Structure 1
Amino acid sequence: MRKNMGNADRIIRIIVAIVISLLYSTHIISGTFGMILLVLGGVFLVTSLISFCPLYTLLGINTCKKKE
C-alpha cells in the first residue's frame, strides 16, 4: 500500500471525524443518518491514520507530496 494522502488531507479528515463524533454524542445528529455519518467518520479516521484511501486509488488522486 503506497501512501496517497497528504498531511492537509489527513488533518481535515481527522477534524471531520471528531466533529461528527461530537455531534453524534451530543444528540445533534441521530437515527439512521447519524449512524451513517458515524461510520463515515470512522472510515475517515482509519484512512487518515494509515495515509491511504482506496477511493483515491480508483480515481487516480494522490495528495501526497512526491519524494524526489
Structure 2
Amino acid sequence: MKKNIGNIDRIVRVLFAVIVSILFFTNVITGTLGIILLIVGGVLLATSFMNFCPLYAVLGINSCPVKK
C-alpha cells in the first residue's frame, strides 16, 4: 500500500474520531446517528494510522506532499 494521506489529513481524521467518541460516550449524540458517526470515526482513525485510504486510491486522490 502506497501512502496517500498527508499529515494535515491525518490530524483532521484523528481529531474528528476523538471528538465523535467524546460526544458519543457523554451521550450528546445518541441512537443510530451516534453509532454511524462512531463507526465512521473508527474507520477514519484506522486509515490515519495506516497512512492509506482505500477511497482515496479509488478516486485517485493523494494528500501527501510531492517528493522532489
TM-score (norm 1): 0.96
- TM-score, normalising length: structure 2: 0.96
Q: Following TM superposition, by how much is the alpha carbon of 1:15 offset from its aligned partner in structure 2, in angstroms?
A: 0.2
Partner of 1:40: 40
CA distance in 2, matches of 1:37, 1:63: 23
**1:18 and 2:18 matched:** yes
Which AA in structure 2 matches 1:31? G
Distance 1:64 1:41 in 2: 21
Runs of 4+ more than 4 Å apart? none
- Percent identity over paired residues: 54
Aligned CA RMSD, in angstroms, stands at 0.6
